[in-house]
Structures are given as C-alpha cells and as structure tokens.
Amino acid sequence: MTTVAVFGAKGRMGREVVAAIEAAPDLELGATVDHGEDRGPVAEADVVVDFTVPDVVMDNLEWAIAHGVHCVVGTTGFTPERLDTVRGWLEAHPGTNAIIASNFSVGALLMMKFAAEAARFYESVEVVELHHPDKVDAPSGTAVTTARKIAAARAAAGVAPSPDATATQLDGARGAVVDGIHVHSVRQRGLFAHQEVLLGNPGETLTLREDSMSRTSYMTGVLAAVRAVASRPGLTEGIEDLLGI
C-alpha cells in the first residue's frame, strides 16, 4: 500500500485528489495539509501530491525532497529556472523523485501534442486559454507549456515567426508572448478550463480545442503519476509517456 499525502488539501484540486486517493484500493490517504497547517506528518508518506499556489510550491517541494518523500506536482508556475532548482534538490537526495505536470488530463495532453505536430505547417499560430475567474495565474500553466512545445517544433523545422503588422496597440492587446508565441487569457464565470490553438495559412485555418468540464478529468493522470513516481529517477516533466501519449 502506498501512503499519499496532499498539500493544498482544502483547495479545489486538493479536495478532488483526496477523494480519488480514498477511492483507490491500492492507495492510502496520509496527511492532508493546507495553508497554515503543520506539514510535519507529510514526512511519513511515500508520496505527496501538491496542488497549492505558485508562491508556495517551491518551499513545499524543497521540504518534501529533503524528507525523502516523492512528489507529484500539478501546481503551475514552473519556469525552466525553477525546474533546474528542483533537479538540484533531487540530485542532492538520490532515491527521491518528482513528477511535475502543468496538465494531467488526457485531452489537454493530446491537444498539446497535436498542436506541436501541426505548428510547422502553418504561418500563424496563437494560443487562447479560457478559465474560471478564481484562477490566480495567467497565462495558464497549460498554455505556457503548449506555447513552448509549439515554439520548439517551429524552431526545429525552421519556421519563421508568425506574421504580425501591429504597429500600435493598447497594452496587452496582443496577449503575453511565450517563446515568441502569443498567448491570450480569458477569465469568465461559467467556464472551468479550456484552450484553443489557432493555426492559419493563406486561405485556411485549423482550430484545436480542448475542454475540461470538471476536475475529475485530471484524476486518471494524477493517480498514474502517484503510482509511477517511485520508479522514475529524478525529475519527470509531463506525464505523456505514463499514459502512452
């Protein structure tokens, strides 16, 4: 039996993760910790799942790795520099591992894969992410990951930057720019988590869209990561290969 603790246990994702662990016959729920609570008991767990906020996740990770607890992380805000820092902590504690993924849903992983595959065939590509208005970060972690994958695929294929004649604009009108890819963030009550990748050529467009309607969409991926993390040395970014994507 694998004992799984949860950081951010009272949050929207944390509550869903707690329920998924309780329902899994091969997993046992360990300590559940939220803001201001003692994280000491997490040291007894085999794995800790973190769905907190970008401002606190690094401190939680450093602490968990120092205590030899494997980490599965869905919290967003991981820059290449942050990932390097985590790699350094893991190297200092061999035998302790981490899986970090900006999205655990099958649909979002497929959408990112298809977007990266399509990106080299089009002159223009932009990302639009649409989320519930209680989300604290923008752009979404998924949109940032998608833009980075698209940019890498276009660079490898030698595709020029998307054409854009904009000469004057209101601040922010063209969105954020991630590795040269424009990313637009919509926040709207009634939505949960959605993303479109818009691709265009003279005379044609392709739109890839993914919709998560409920946080249950992430649980297959989270549980797969929890079950795999002990046997994946060091840092694993993304869970595509765990799901055969």
Binding site for ligand NAD (CB under 6 A): 7-8, 10-14, 33-35, 51-54, 56, 60, 74-76, 101-104, 137, 141, 218
| 140 touching ligand LLHOTIJI, by CB under 6 A | yes
The interaxial angle of helices 106-118 and 141-157, nearest 10 deg, is 30
Nearer to ligand NAD among residue 193 and residue 199 (C-beta): 193
Torsional sign, CA 92, 95, 98, 99: positive
Beta strand 181-187 with 176-178 is antiparallel
Position among 193, 199, 228, 235 found at the interface with ligand LLHOTIJI (CB under 6 A) = 193
- As measured in angstroms, the least distance from the Cβ of 136 to ligand LLHOTIJI is 8
244 annotated binding-site participant: no
Active site residue 93: no
- As measured in angstroms, the least distance from the Cβ of 140 to ligand NAD is 7
DSSP letter string, 25-78 = TTEEEEEEE-TTS--GGGGG-SEEEE-S-HHHHHHHHHHHHHTT-EEEE--S--
How many of the other CB atoms lie within 10 Å of CB of 231? 8
Q: Which amino acid is at 40?
A: G
DSSP letter string, 126-176 = EEEEEE-TT---SS-HHHHHHHHHHHHHHHHHTPPPPP----S--TTTT-E
Beta strand 70-73 with 47-50 is parallel
58 annotated binding-site participant: no
Residue 103: helix, strand or coil by DSSP?
A: coil
- As measured in angstroms, the least distance from the Cβ of 77 to ligand NAD is 7
Nearer to ligand NAD among residue 103 and residue 146 (C-beta): 103
Residue whose tokens read 């649980």: 219
Tell me, residue by residue from 68 to 107, as one string, x for binding to ligand LLHOTIJI by CB under 6 A and - for no binding.
--------x-------------------------xx----
Q: Which amino acid is at 195?
A: Q
- As measured in angstroms, the least distance from the Cβ of 152 to ligand LLHOTIJI is 18
From the candidates 67, 93, 131, 184, which is the catalytic residue?
131
Active site residue 131: yes
Question: Which residue minimizes CB distance to ligand NAD?
Answer: 11
- As measured in angstroms, the least distance from the Cβ of 5 to ligand LLHOTIJI is 21
Residues near ligand LLHOTIJI (CB under 6 A) are: 76, 102-103, 131, 135, 140-142, 193
Annotated binding residues, written as ranges, equal 8-13, 38-39, 74-76, 101-104, 132, 141-142
